[in-house]
Structure 1
Amino acid sequence: MEGWNFWWGIAAFFLGGLATQLNGWLAYRRQRKDRADDAQDALRQRREEFELQHLVEVNQLLRDLMAGLVLMATAARLEHQFPGAFDDEELTQRFQEGMDAVNATEAALTAQAGFILDDGIRAHVKGGLVAYDEASVEATEPETVNAALSAVGTAMRPAYEAIAARVRELYAGRAGA
């Protein structure tokens, strides 16, 4: 009987060591999973910040582009309705400044559109740009200005709505996180 106590002591010693090793291994796996989850969460947050920043910027650029187009159309309409009422040089200079600003906005928007992560939103923004390009000349002609502005507004509305929906979705995800 005393022999069994000796062997039970040895077996308990080895089983205790094995249990300690198993516990350490399980703790290591749990920590590794926690670190992986933290890294994945940090990556998701960086992606959302990037996406949010670019969506807000693209939205503002779309609005600036539309506002510039309306200003150009208004200047052209005023010149057509009241010829000679404005200083030609000043009106030409203001029209050119507006055109330069709109061209710079269009270039910035074209560059930023490539950074939009959502394919659907990117397609809507590019559709708005195409509509702007098609209507930009017509918007300065008195006969077609209303139809041109309406066409651009109609083409840009889905882009505005898609951007707004995605921004809401990003913020709703943050509230739930």
Structure 2
Amino acid sequence: MEGWNFWWGIAAFFLGGLATQLNGWLAYKRQRTERAEDAAEAAKQRRDEFELQHLIETNQKLHDYRELFLNFTTAVRREREAHEQGRPTPDDDLTAANEALEASESALHGHVGFILDDTVRDLVRQAMTAIDLAMADALTADEVNFGTVGSAVNEAFDALSRRVRSLYAGQPGPR
């Protein structure tokens, strides 16, 4: 009987050590999983903040681009009317409007590539294309189709707004 007590003591010692090792391994796995989840959540948060910042900036730059396009068409119309009436046509207004429009387009173009949602990015690019085509029409034709431009720009604004709302609501977006 005394021999069994000795062996039970040794077995208990080894089983206790094994249980301690198993408990430590399980705790390590749990901590690793929690750290990975925290890192994934932090990465998602950074991604959402990055996307949100660029969506808002793109929205503002698209607004500016649209307004400068309208200013450009007004300058073209004034110059055309002055030319038709035989008055001298100062190029300063048209040149300034054109330069401002080009600078605005460049600034907007720099942000469009950072839009992570493909659909939103495509709609903003379509709006930019509509403005570019209308700008050419303003220079070469008597009529500019403002309805087409407005429709394309409004679709882009709506898509930007929807994506911003979905980020604030915590809805998942494209990955």
Q: For this structure pair, what is the TM-score category when the shorter chain's length is used for normalisation?
A: 0.7 to 0.9
Say whether residues 1:156 and 2:153 are aligned partners: yes
- The residue aligned with 2:44 is 44
Count of equivalent residues:
170
Specify the SS of the correspondent of 1:115. Answer: coil
SS at match of 2:114: coil
* Equivalent-residue separation in structure 2 for 1:18 and 1:39 (angstroms): 31
Q: What CA distance in whole angstroms lies between the structure 1 residues aligned with 2:88 and 2:36?
A: 67
**Corresponding residue for 1:127?**
126
Superposition deviation, residue 141 in structure 1: 6.7
Following the alignment from structure 2 to structure 1, what is the Cα–Cα distance between the partners of residues 57 and 138?
25
2:82 touches 2:89 (CA, 8 Å); kept in 1?
no
What letter is aligned with 1:56?
I
Segments of 4+ moved more than 6 angstroms: none
1:9 counterpart letter in structure 2: G
Structure 1 CA distance for aligned equivalents of residues 125 and 70 of structure 2: 19
Contact 2:82/2:88, CA 8 A, preserved across alignment:
no
Identity %: 50
1:107 corresponds to: 106
SS in 1 for 2:142: coil
- Please report how far the alpha carbon of residue 44 of structure 1 lies from its aligned counterpart in structure 2 after TM superposition: 0.9
- Partner residue of 2:96? 97
Aligned residues of 1:80 and 1:142 also touching (Cα < 8 A): no
Residue by residue over 1:29-88, the C-alpha shift from the partner in whole angstroms, topping out at 9 and shown as x without a partner, is 11111111111111111111111111111111111111011112223334555777x984
Q: Residue 142 of structure 1: CA displacement? A: 7.8
**How far apart are 1:16 and its partner, in Å?**
0.7
Within-5 A mapping of 1:60-99: 60-80=60-80, 88-89=89-90, 92-99=91-98
Contact 2:72 2:101 in 1 (8 A): no
Does the CA contact (< 8 Å) of 1:77 and 1:141 recur in 2? no
Aligned to 1:18, the other structure's residue is in SS state helix
For structure 2, the residue ranges without an aligned partner over 5 or more in a row are none
Instruction: Tell me, in whole angstroms, the C-alpha distance in 1 between the residues paired with 2:138 and 2:22.
Output: 75
TM-score (structure 1 length as normaliser): 0.85
DSSP-derived class of the 1:116 partner: coil
What's the secondary structure of 1:136's corresponding residue?
A: helix
Q: Distance in 1 between matches of 2:142 and 2:3?
A: 111
**2: CA distance, partners of 1:139 / 1:63:** 19
**Normalising by the residue count of structure 2, what TM-score does the alignment of the two structures yield?**
0.86
SS in 2 for 1:137: helix
